[in-house]
Amino acid sequence: MKLRNLFIGLAAATFSAIAMAQAPIVIKFSHVVAADTPKGKASEFFAKKAAELTKGKAKVEVYANSALYKDKEEMEALQLGAVQMLAPSLAKFGPLGVKEFEAFDFPYIFDDTADLHKITQGPVGASMMAKLEPKGIKGLAFWDNGFKSFSANTPIKVPGDLKGKKLRIQSSKVLEEQIRSVGGLPQVMAFSEVYQALQTGVVDGTENPISNLYTQKMHEVQKHLTLTNHGYLGYAVIVNKKFWEGLPADVRGQLEAAMKEATAYANKIAQEENDTALEGVKKSGKTAVYMPSKDERMAFKKAMAPVHAKMADRVGKDLLQTIYKETGFDPNKL
């Protein structure tokens, strides 16, 4: 009898050891935007590629639309290891104490995606990612979204049209100063709360790339959208460092390869997604879309230019100078 029990026990232990050896490594990937956005699509792409390249050894579970955590909470969850992967917007690293990332929030600092990629895909981007490591975070890639535009319930043609307006922004000191530069009242709020805040009039307007505005249906509660393209919003794909470094080397390598492909995909679709979203907004007939003239665009640039000198110390003068050198932007020559 005893021998039989021993045999059963051994068999059960062997079975569970095999099951454990075969159970996939689960990577929870949490984000705050809709699934049909550049970030939403790229994270699903990564999940598929990861399954394929690791041959099922890793399973990436994507949670969109703040299903698990809101903005600030998701960063804490990553550091605690409750989720393993995130792609927060670059503005979300300032509150973490890595203020250099707020350099991306400076108005008009990048003229276009080519300028942006000189930073995100080059040595400056890599050295910024390295600054996350003491926080227990490893940066894997930069993913594009696009340039932000202002929306409100009243027309926006000149900077003065934003005067006195309560405008929702992400939690960034540079963005606060940017709103103040046009006489607006910055209101920091989690992304998942913006639609309702616009609907109920808690805030008057906001800024976001069109893909975010459209997929959250913000255009249904905003009568005017002006294509100011005044600042950039994109992402850093990050993982819990301890988790990542603890992965079997072969799996980590395969996941890195999957991330490389997902990054190429993300940066390929970002502009297309924003273009499609803009078409959607126009077709909805709910929001009047305004394209500022060259002079009107220059008026916004000039109004926001002082933000650069005012906030230079926050992100570091040297970093800003390096970016200016790469992109050719000079806030003193407008």
Judged by beta carbon, residue 89 or residue 187, the one nearer ligand LMR is: 89
Judged by beta carbon, residue 57 or residue 104, the one nearer ligand LMR is: 104
**Token digits of residue 315:** 């992100």
81, amino acid identity: G
- Residue window 291-310: x/- pattern of binding to ligand LMR, with contact defined by CB under 6 A: --------------------
By CB under 6 A, is residue 174 in contact with ligand LMR?
no
Judged by beta carbon, residue 100 or residue 207, the one nearer ligand LMR is: 207
Residue 69, by phi and psi: left (phi above 0), alpha (psi -120 to 50) or beta? Answer: beta
* H-type alpha helices, 97-209: 113-120, 123-130, 173-181, 194-200
Contacts of 268 (CB under 8 A, 6+ apart): none
Contacts of 93 (CB under 8 A, 6+ apart): 99, 100, 101, 102, 132, 236
By CB under 6 A, is residue 170 in contact with ligand LMR?
yes
By CB under 6 A, is residue 191 in contact with ligand LMR?
yes
The whole-angstrom distance between residue 193's C-alpha and the CA centroid of its chain comes to 16
**Token digits of residue 27:** 């990577």
By CB under 6 A, is residue 89 in contact with ligand LMR?
yes
Q: What residues pair up with 138 in beta bridges, in sequence order?
A: 239
- Residue window 99-138: x/- pattern of binding to ligand LMR, with contact defined by CB under 6 A: ----------------------------------------
Considering only 30, 66, 149, 212, the residue that binds ligand LMR (CB under 6 A) is: 212
Strands 224-240 and 205-208: unpaired
Judged by beta carbon, residue 216 or residue 254, the one nearer ligand LMR is: 216
Q: What is the largest CA-CA distance in the chain?
A: 92
Q: d(Cα 147, Cα 111) in Å, to the nearest integer?
A: 9
Considering only 28, 29, 30, 33, the residue that binds ligand LMR (CB under 6 A) is: 33
Considering only 208, 254, 271, 327, the residue that binds ligand LMR (CB under 6 A) is: 208
Closest distance to ligand LMR from the beta carbon of 60 (Å): 18
CA geometry: angle 243, 249, 255, nearest 5 deg: 70
By CB under 6 A, is residue 267 in contact with ligand LMR?
no
Contacts of 156 (CB under 8 A, 6+ apart): 150, 162, 205, 224, 226, 228, 290
Closest distance to ligand LMR from the beta carbon of 221 (Å): 15
By CB under 6 A, is residue 86 in contact with ligand LMR?
no
Q: d(Cα 58, Cα 325) in Å, to the nearest integer?
A: 41
Considering only 32, 109, 119, 266, the residue that binds ligand LMR (CB under 6 A) is: 32
| Site size with ligand LMR, rule: CB under 6 A | 9
- Residue window 134-163: x/- pattern of binding to ligand LMR, with contact defined by CB under 6 A: -----------x------------------
Closest distance to ligand LMR from the beta carbon of 192 (Å): 9
Judged by beta carbon, residue 177 or residue 305, the one nearer ligand LMR is: 177
CA quadruple 220, 221, 227, 232: dihedral sign: negative
State the residues that interact with ligand LMR by CB under 6 A.
32-33, 71, 89, 145, 170, 191, 208, 212
